[in-house]
Amino acid sequence: MRQIEFFDTTLRDGEQSPGVALNVEEKLQIARQLEKLGVDIIEAGFPITSPGDFQAVSLIAEKVRDTKIAGLARAEVQDIERAWEALKKAESPRIHTFIATSPIHMQYKLRKTKEQVLEHTKMAVELAKSKVSDVEFSAEDASRSEVDFLAQVFSLAIKSGATVLNIPDTVGYAVPDEFAEFVKAIMTKTEGIEKVKVSVHCHNDLGLAVANSLAAVKAGIQQIECAVNGLGERAGNAALEELAMALYTRKDQYMAQSRIVTREITKTSRLVSRLSGMSVQHNKSIVGKNAFAHEAGIHQDGVLKERSTYEIISPEMIGLDMNTIVLGKHSGRHALRKSLDDLGIDIGEERFQKLFEDFKVLAEKKKVVTSSDLFSLADVHELEEELTIDYWQVVTGNNLKPTATIGLQHKNGEEKEELIKAAYGDGPVAAAYKAIDKIVGIDGELLHYNLQAIDSGEDSQGEVNVTVKFREHIVAGRGISTDIIEASVKAYLQAVNRALGKGWVMVKKR
Ligand SMILES: CC(=O)SCCNC(=O)CCNC(=O)[C@H](O)C(C)(C)COP(=O)(O)OP(=O)(O)OC[C@H]1O[C@@H](n2cnc3c(N)ncnc32)[C@H](O)[C@@H]1OP(=O)(O)O
Ligand SMILES: CC(C)C(=O)C(=O)O
């Protein structure tokens, strides 16, 4: 069996998804989970882009010791120096430098000739190599590049010290058979290819990112770049969980294995979804809510007789629904601890006590606390948010103007009266959002609002996802509650807190 390395770019390309803005602590939390998931390399960020990105890469490099940590850099001196500064403390650092090689990108974006791109490649890889032994070089828009030129660039990158060569399908233009042939041609024409690992990085613009990556595995590559839940620029990157389960389920086809601990998949997916504010579509492969649900009678009959009639993967394999104890308001700490253990949710004692309190509050409102509820409770991050809900109240009806009164608390304990406002709106949620806007002193433009039940049944909790524009910045937020208005307020407030954290808005001084 060949070994395929998983290079996870959730924290870099994934964070380039419009509306996703993770703070430093959230990135560390995700990196720690990626380590448990068994990824081989975590691309922790692009250090030159902002002080926050730099800080996140530095912190992850310092704290996450069992996984290689990569930082991205353009083929520019200042980017590589900055990436190295951020990666210095890593146990196994990798500098990932890149430059575009397609005619379109070279002519219009870089405004560089082929010779200049070759010069930048040599300079960047040599400089990176003078800092770290592990250097990845990517040819951006490789799949639209001329094969012979790309092989020339890659041959030079190897001579200059690259250890990994990455072939990105940057705009998701490739189709599987063609991409496999392209990869094979590059591998044949590049001098010294046997000394390095070959990687692919596929985007999903035509919905083919996973298919193209798998075609490249058959063509002989050693590394796949991917992101949890398929997050990433535009339509996203190849989804990590789909690649891992395809390799596992169809080893007969790929003759390859990975280090991914599949039981950690569900937990990782939910954590990323929660912190990024990007919900997973219900029919998404592997991690979608319906991925293991059987609705049709003939299917249900088949599954009841023999699961493998309609299930090619068991839910347990991805860490789903392993909760055998029914949890409710009469359950105690042992039952909760056992259920968390069964789901692979590993939390320390102090956090467990807090989770137990939250569990009791929820169990008062719901008959049964489900695995989905436990994942949500455990995902509630412990970061101190700048603003939290003190109370909320809405008045609505078909014959009156919906009104909301919102009271917030500031972490610095600002005067309470200043953080209470009332507003009208077209509906109770709009009214609540206007009241929050009044408190913060800015108009958020609600671009997207989605409400869904996290489980089936009358007492399921509601999950609200929003995307909000504050001036030119777009931020996502998510809220979960047994009350849909409260879930809506929580989601909006999370977006506000993220914008506050980034310094894009400030609580108005009165
Ligand atoms: C395919 C990918 O996903 S690549 C990664 C994309 N990710 C990002 O862009 C992350 C966020 N980016 C940023 O914060 C900013 O773009 C920065 C900090 C990287 C650069 O900001 P600025 O210096 O203001 O430049 P700006 O973004 O406007 O333009 C990019 C410049 O980099 C150049 N460039 C782009 N890629 C490369 C590269 N790989 N190597 C060298 N130069 C490059 C462009 O040609 C342009 O140069 P120009 O100013 O001479 O025209
Ligand atoms: C930097 C490279 C790997 C990239 O993100 C792309 O080409 O999509």
Residue nearest to atom 2 of ligand 2 (CA): 140
Same domain, 221 and 369: no
360 is in which domain, residue-wise?
297-379
Q: Are residues 149 and 64 in the same domain?
A: yes
In a domain, 285, yes or no: no
Amino acid type, 481:
S
Is 289 part of any domain? no
The first and second tokens of residue 18, run together, are 């419009």
Last residue of a domain, one of 345, 379, 413: 379
Residues 66, 212: one domain?
A: yes
pLDDT, one tens digit for every residue, the chain (510 residues):
999 999 999 999 999 887 787 888 889 999 999 999 999 999 999 999 999 899 999 999 999 999 999 999 999 999 999 999 999 999 999 999 999 999 999 999 999 999 999 999 999 999 999 999 999 999 999 999 999 999 999 999 999 999 999 999 999 999 999 999 999 999 999 999 999 999 999 999 999 999 999 999 999 999 999 999 999 999 999 999 999 999 999 999 999 999 999 999 998 998 898 788 788 988 999 999 888 877 787 887 888 888 899 889 999 999 886 555 778 888 899 889 988 887 767 788 888 998 999 899 889 888 788 877 887 787 655 456 789 999 999 999 999 999 999 999 988 776 666 789 999 999 999 999 999 999 998 889 998 898 888 776 777 888 888 888 888 787 878 888 889 999 999 999 989 998 887 777 777 655
101 lines ligand 2 (CB under 6 A): no
- Residues 259, 344 within the same domain: no
Q: Are residues 257 and 321 in the same domain?
A: no
Residue 13 alpha carbon, nearest atom of ligand 2: 5
CA distance 480 to 491: 8
Alpha-carbon 334 to chain mean position: 32
pTM of the model: 0.82
48 CB less than 6 Å from ligand 1?
A: yes
CB 440 within 8 A of CB 505: yes
Give the domain CATH number at 463: 3.30.160.270
Q: What is the CATH number of the domain that holds 252?
A: 3.20.20.70
Q: Same domain for 62 and 196?
A: yes
Q: What is the 3-state secondary structure (H, E, C) of 66-91?
A: CCEEEEEEECCHHHHHHHHHHHCCCC
Query: How many angstroms does the Cα of residue 233 sit away from the middle of ligand 2?
Result: 9
Q: Which bound ligand lies closest to the C-alpha atom of 16?
A: 1
Please tell me the total count of domains within the chain: 3
Distance from the alpha carbon of residue 499 to the mean position of ligand 1, in angstroms: 23
Report the alpha-carbon distance of residue 381 to residue 30 in Å, rounded: 11
Residues 27, 85 within the same domain: yes
Ligand 1 near 76 CB (within 6 A): yes
Take residue 65 and report the two structure tokens written for it. 């010791």
Q: In what order do the strands lie in the sheet with 444-453?
A: 444-453, 462-470, 473-481
DSSP 369: B
Are 376 and 274 contacting, i.e. CB atoms less than 8 angstroms apart?
yes
Within this chain, do residues 311 and 359 fall inside the same structural domain, yes or no?
Answer: yes
Binding residues for Mn(2+): 13, 201, 203, 237
Q: Say yes or no: 272 and 413 in one domain.
A: no
